[in-house]
Structure 1
Amino acid sequence: MMTKRFSGTAPEADEHRRFTLRNASGMAVTISECDAALWSWQAPDRYGRMADVVLAPRRLAGAVLWKGQHAEGGVTLLRSETADAVAQLAKYHLDDDGCLTVHHEVVAMAPTPLDVTSNPCFNLNGGAADVGDHMVQIDADYYVGVDADGAPANLAAVGGTAFDFRQAAPIGARLRWPDSQIRQRGGLDHCFFVRNHFSGGQGPLREVARVVDPGSGRCLQLHTTEAAVQLRAVQQGSFTLEARARPELTSAAWPHVIVLPGHVYRQTSVYRLSLQP
């Protein structure tokens, strides 16, 4: 069955348009022109009850405005910053299997730090409870430690630490872990280098992380071409899980990835929302 779609208009107090995609399973995903952000994701639980598993991002003064339209069965958004000489493209597509594909392209006229993050905040029980019992699994042997200011300080092995998610572990228990990194950041807010990364930092689309809510039965899987994942859970109300480009540790630009003139940066990630038996 073809994915259905329609566009909606934002409230008068918000000039940013929003675009909604629907699939045959009753899911509805809404994308905002403000930061090209994932705004909401209505999905059923194991009992068929619908809930929004995304917390709408807070609007910030001077937020980046993209121009969106329905195209090619999904939503395409464009951003062009003349002052920074950078152009960006973001595409969203929802299929009937619950896969939300997000594709980014960036072209720069001058060396430019890469920024394709939208920081989607999830709560798989739809806000009926916190995310403390959500089970997180990340296919990573190393994470990036940070200093007191939150700047990247070193690459550390996850073994024996609060950051070892190679086997599924609950978010709440890890937030209570007596770890200096957890105390410094007020929770989890770290980058993980996933296994089997490829030259140049990108490779074929593969699963790198998943989160399961035992109560609702919802399972969120992240597939990406990237070699790093950012997990953020500084409180138990929500979590953020997002693919990141892996910076070169020896680069003077660390922790940023720099898009060079004449190069096109491409990233594809897929969030799949399904139900556990």
Structure 2
Amino acid sequence: MMTTPIFGATAQPDECRLYTLRNASGMAVTISERGAALRSWHAPDRYGRMADVVLAEPDHASSASPAARWQGRHAEGGVSLLLTAPGGAELLVNYHLDDDGSLIINYKATAAAPVALDVQLRPYFNLNGGHADVGDHMLQIDAAYFVEVDAGGAPAGVAAVGGTPFDFRQPAPIGPRLRWSGTQTRLMGGFNHCLFVRDHYAGGQGALREVARVVDPGSGRRLQMYTTEAALQLCTGQRAGFCLEAHARPCLMSAAWPQVVLRRGQVYRQTTVYRLALEA
């Protein structure tokens, strides 16, 4: 689809630049050079009232580059951000906002030497605009298995979601699930777990498909997530917001799990789409 012009905001020389994308529906998305992070997403509710559905701290940085500065620029109707990471890897992230409310994020990484890749932008959302917590948000994830963790948060094994708080194969409110008794949610203070949305292990980019959706009954906003990846990370923190982020799914026994290890000259690609719309 055609999109409306892009507007960018420049910063002082010693500050990170912010880039803003707008579409014909009146949405406005802002991306920061620090961490290549999604900083805000203003969108209307069912009554046409605008609100920011992203929770972001000032100068929030991704865990992949806590101190590095990404170099951003307008490109191909969107925003491109490039980071040269230690070890010679280059990370490129492209954001594009369509008029149907789809925020398309394309990732590309190349390596000059073997390197563990862990690109985490970790966008946190609250579809009511922060007026309340996300306890009544209805979450659905197409996943039959999740990764159990130990007391330190490290992967400990794979378990079926059936009979656990992680079973979101049918829509369910987030809040009540956080109150379920269970070792896993107690260890992490909520959800901070990987769920498998495909049956295969990593070994090539899969087809883009919907793997999760979240609906806020109050505002009528609906967020759908599409990805080419085999897993996603579900995080809830203290119920102020939620995060759904795509991950590759290497073998559980890999020492770099859940990272992707790039060999020299290898290229890693990933596409994730967040589509924000209103329930009919």
| 2:10 aligned residue | 9
> Deviations along 1:70-100, whole A, 9 cap, x unmatched?
110000111113x421111000000000000
Cα distance in 2, alignment partners of residues 27 and 36 from structure 1: 19
1:239 and 2:242 correspond: yes
- Report deviation, 1:115: 1.6
Cα distance in 1, alignment partners of residues 14 and 118 from structure 2: 24
| 1:50 aligned residue | 50
Cα distance in 1, alignment partners of residues 74 and 198 from structure 2: 35
| 1:119 aligned residue | 122
CA contact (8 A) 2:91 2:108 kept: yes
Output the TM-score relative to the length of structure 2: 0.94
| 1:248 aligned residue | 251
When residues 68 and 251 of structure 1 are mapped into structure 2, their CA distance, relative to the original with a 3 A threshold, is same
Could you say what secondary structure the match of 2:144 adopts? Answer: strand
CA contact (8 A) 2:201 2:250 kept: no
User: For residues 1-277 of structure 1, what are the structure 2 equivalents within 5 Å?
Assistant: 1-10=2-11, 15-59=15-59, 63-81=67-85, 83-197=86-200, 200=203, 202-277=205-280
Could you say what secondary structure the match of 2:46 adopts? Answer: coil
- Report deviation, 1:58: 4.5
- Report deviation, 1:195: 3.4
- Report deviation, 1:57: 3.2
- Report deviation, 1:246: 0.9
> Deviations along 1:140-176, whole A, 9 cap, x unmatched?
0000000000001001100000000100111101111
CA contact (8 A) 1:101 1:271 kept: yes
- Which sections of structure 2, spanning at least 5 residues, go unmatched? none
Cα distance in 2, alignment partners of residues 199 and 255 from structure 1: 11
Cα distance in 2, alignment partners of residues 23 and 143 from structure 1: 36
Cα distance in 1, alignment partners of residues 124 and 14 from structure 2: 20
When residues 13 and 178 of structure 1 are mapped into structure 2, their CA distance, relative to the original with a 3 A threshold, is farther
CA contact (8 A) 2:3 2:97 kept: no
Could you say what secondary structure the match of 1:173 adopts? Answer: helix
- Report deviation, 1:116: 1.6
When residues 92 and 153 of structure 1 are mapped into structure 2, their CA distance, relative to the original with a 3 A threshold, is same
CA contact (8 A) 1:137 1:166 kept: yes
Alignment-mate amino acid for residue 101 of structure 2:
G
Alignment-mate amino acid for residue 15 of structure 2:
E
> What's the Cα RMSD here?
1.7
Aligned identity (percent) is 64
> Deviations along 1:19-56, whole A, 9 cap, x unmatched?
00000000000000001010100000000000000012
Cα distance in 2, alignment partners of residues 58 and 143 from structure 1: 32
- Report deviation, 1:245: 1.0
Alignment-mate amino acid for residue 275 of structure 1:
L
Please say which of residues 55-64 and 189-198 is displaced more in the overlay. 55-64
CA contact (8 A) 2:111 2:265 kept: yes
